[in-house]
């Protein structure tokens, strides 16, 4: 093995206040510019040596091959558009047993070949899965395409849906009234009062199923909707 497999130090000097404000782990803000449309262009560089680890063998490369730029989309900041430009490096892998000749830096916050930051992708999935927003609305709000938002949603719910369903403790139903209510006018007060909630004459007043919480109703509905 020719190269290191662990990090000796992290370039902490690159972590400025702007980098902390941006909050993208492993990336440091180099400079910020304004574009012709009033937006901001943030140039970032790699501040984590683990980004130079070969994805094939895990060895940290020290042989620079070249440089490249990527423009990952990130979550919105403020009212003006913010664009990221990541000035990354390309490395050669010198390990004889590794089949990877070269690779480009990647980080958990910005995966290889991804056009979105990990937190932006998670935000898109969360908007649809947990905020009751449709794919089209979320796509329009974040300025992303429909397929990208849908893929983020699928990724967001893949793990929860693969987990075993919770045990059904109470089986509830949405319809809690049967038949039509019967009203009658009081002879003395001339006001209409509810005589019977529903059901057929002579039957007892229908009662709602045993107290069902929204959680129990959701648990009961899951097997029905997915079966």
Kindly list the residues in this chain that would bind Zn ion in the complex (CB under 5 A).
Answer: 54, 56-57, 93, 95, 98, 100
Shorter beta-carbon distance to Zn ion: residue 87 or 100: 100
Determine contact, residues 220/171, Cβ cutoff 8 Å: yes
Minimum Å gap between C-beta 102 and Zn ion is 9
In this structure, the number of other CB atoms found within 10 A of the CB of residue 151 comes to 16
Minimum Å gap between C-beta 45 and Zn ion is 23
Pairing of strands 82-92, 102-104: antiparallel
Determine contact, residues 109/26, Cβ cutoff 8 Å: yes
Shorter beta-carbon distance to Zn ion: residue 2 or 10: 2
Minimum Å gap between C-beta 97 and Zn ion is 8
Q: How far is CA 8 from CA 1, 103, 211, 223, in A?
A: 17, 21, 60, 52
Cα four-point dihedral sign 25, 28, 33, 36: negative
Instruction: Please count the residues of the chain.
Output: 227
Shorter beta-carbon distance to Zn ion: residue 55 or 147: 55
Shorter beta-carbon distance to Zn ion: residue 96 or 132: 96
Determine contact, residues 157/129, Cβ cutoff 8 Å: yes
Minimum Å gap between C-beta 11 and Zn ion is 22
User: Residue 221: which H helix or E strand, with range?
Assistant: helix 214-226
Shorter beta-carbon distance to Zn ion: residue 57 or 157: 57
Minimum Å gap between C-beta 8 and Zn ion is 19
């Amino acid at each position: 093995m020719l190269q290191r497999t662990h990090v000796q130090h992290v370039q902490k000097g690159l972590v400025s206040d702007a980098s902390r404000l941006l909050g993208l782990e492993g990336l440091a803000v180099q400079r910020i510019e304004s574009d012709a449309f009033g937006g901001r262009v943030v140039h970032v560089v790699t501040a984590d040596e683990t980004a130079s680890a070969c994805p094939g063998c895990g060895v940290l490369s020290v042989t620079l091959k070249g440089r490249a730029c990527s423009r990952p989309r990130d979550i919105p900041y403020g009212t003006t558009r913010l664009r990221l430009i990541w000035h990354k490096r390309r490395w050669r892998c010198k390990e004889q047993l590794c089949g990877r000749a070269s690779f480009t830096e990647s980080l958990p916050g910005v995966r290889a070949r991804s056009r979105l930051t990990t937190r932006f992708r998670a935000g898109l999935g969360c908007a649809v899965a947990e905020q009751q927003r449709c794919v089209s609305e979320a796509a329009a709000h974040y300025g992303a395409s429909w397929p990208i938002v849908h893929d983020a949603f699928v990724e967001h719910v893949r793990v929860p849906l693969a987990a075993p369903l919770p045990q059904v403790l109470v089986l509830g139903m949405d319809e809690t009234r049967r038949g039509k209510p019967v009203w009658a006018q009081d002879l003395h007060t001339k006001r209409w009062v509810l005589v019977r909630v529903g059901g057929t004459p002579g039957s007892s007043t229908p009662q709602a199923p045993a107290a069902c919480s929204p959680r129990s109703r959701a648990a009961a509905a899951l097997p029905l909707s997915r079966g």
